[in-house]
Chains A and B, each alone.
Chain A
Amino acid sequence: MVDDKTVDVLQKKKVRLNNTAILFLILVVMFALFSYVGRPFFFSKLNLIPMINNLSFVGIIAAILTMVMVSGEIDFSIGGNIGLTACLTALLLEKGLPGWLVVIIALAGGFAMGAFNGMLVTVVGVNSIIATIGTMFIWRGIGYTITNGESKLALNTVIDYIGRGFVFKVIPFPIVLLVAVFIITYIIMNHSKWGRRIYAIGANPLASFLSGINVKKVKFIGFLFCGAAAALGGLVLTSLSAVGMPQHGQGQELVIISAIILGGTALGGGRGQILGTLAGVFILSVLYNFLTIMNIYYFYIQMVQGSVLILVVSTYEIRQAVARRRT
Chain B
Amino acid sequence: MSDSNGIVLRMENITKTFPGVVALDNVSIDLYKGEVLGILGENGAGKSTLIKILAGNYIKDSGDIFIDGQKFEIKGPAEAMSSGIRVIYQELNTINNLTVAENIFIGEQLVKGPLKIIDWKGMNKKAEELLAVMNVKLDPNAIIGDLTVSEKQIVEIAKAISQEAKILVMDEPTAALSEEETQSLFKIIQALKTKGVAIIYISHRLKEIFEITDRVTVLRDGKKVGTLKTKESDSNKLVEMMVGRDIKDMYPKRHVPIGGVVMEVNNLGAEGFDNISFKLRKGEILGIFGLLGSGRSSLVKALFGANKIKNGEIIVNGKKLRIKSPGMARDAKIGLVPLDRKIEGLALMMGVKENITLANIKELGKSFLIARNQERRKAGNWVDEIGIRTPSVEQEVNSLSGGNQQKVVLAKWLESGSQIIILNEPTRGVDVGAKIEIYKLMQDLCEKGSSIIMISSELPEILSIADRIIVMSKGRFTEEYKICDASEEGLLRSACL
Instruction: Please report A residues at the B interface, Cβ cutoff 8 Å.
Output: 1-5, 8-9, 11-12, 187, 191-194, 196-197, 199-200, 203-204, 206-214, 270-271, 325-327
Contact = CB atoms under 8 A, between A and B. Distances in A.
Nearest to A325: B59
29 contacts: A1-B387, A1-B389, A2-B380, A4-B392, A5-B392, A8-B391, A9-B394, A191-B369, A191-B370, A192-B369, A193-B365, A193-B370, A194-B368, A196-B354, A196-B361, A199-B350, A200-B350, A200-B354, A203-B348, A206-B344, A207-B358, A210-B326, A211-B326, A212-B326, A212-B359, A213-B358, A214-B327, A327-B18, A327-B19
A216 to B, nearest CB: 10
A326 B59 CA distance: 8
A1 B388 contact: yes
Contact of B395 (A8, A211, A271): A8
B344 A207 contact: yes
A326 B361 CA distance: 33
A211 B391 contact: no
B362 A209 contact: no
A203 B394 CA distance: 16
Contact of A192 (B304, B370, B389): B370
A234 B210 CA distance: 71
Nearest to A199: B350
B338 interface: yes
A203 B349 contact: yes
Interface string B334-363: 001010000111111110001000110110
Contact of A203 (B325, B328, B350, B390): B350
B393 interface: yes
Nearest to A216: B325
Contacts of B388: 1
Contacts of A8: 20, 391-392, 394-395
A208 B358 contact: yes
B480 to A, nearest CB: 28
A9 B329 contact: no
B349 A271 contact: yes
A1 to B, nearest CB: 6
A43 B251 CA distance: 74
Interface string B299-312: 00000101000000
Minimum-distance CB pairs A-B, first 7: A212-B330, A203-B347, A212-B327, A211-B359, A8-B392, A5-B392, A204-B347
Contacts of B387: 1
B384 interface: yes
Contacts of A12: 394
B320 to A, nearest CB: 20
Nearest to B346: A207
B364 interface: yes
Contacts of A213: 327, 358-359, 361
A326 B358 CA distance: 29
Contacts of B370: 191-193, 196
Given A8-B392, A192-B369, 8 more contacts: A2-B391, A8-B395, A193-B361, A194-B368, A200-B354, A207-B344, A211-B358, A212-B331
B344 A210 contact: yes
B348 A204 contact: yes
Contacts of A5: 391-394
A138 B56 CA distance: 51
A197 B364 CA distance: 12
B8 to A, nearest CB: 27
Contacts of A206: 343-344
Contact of B361 (A11, A197, A203): A197
B285 interface: no
A236 B271 CA distance: 51
A178 to B, nearest CB: 23
Interface string B386-425: 0111111111000100000000000010001000000000
Contacts of B134: none
B390 A211 contact: no
Tell which of B364, B368, B416 has the most Cβ of chain A within 10 Å.
Answer: B368
Q: Name the residue in A3, A203, A325 with the highest tally of chain B Cβ atoms < 10 Å from its Cβ.
A: A203
A169 to B, nearest CB: 34
Contacts of B365: 193
A204 B330 CA distance: 18
A193 B368 contact: yes
Contacts of A204: 343, 346-348
Nearest to B375: A196
B104 interface: no
A5 B369 CA distance: 23
B455 interface: no
A137 B393 CA distance: 47
B383 interface: yes
A209 B306 contact: yes
A194 B20 CA distance: 32
Given A1-B388, A1-B389, A191-B369, A210 B345 contact: yes
Nearest to B362: A193
A207 B345 contact: yes
Nearest to A196: B361
Contacts of A9: 392, 394
Nearest to A214: B327
A210 B347 contact: no
Given A193-B364, A196-B361, A207-B345, A2 B392 contact: yes
A194 B361 CA distance: 9
Nearest to B350: A203
A200 B326 contact: no
A1 B394 CA distance: 13
A212 B325 contact: yes
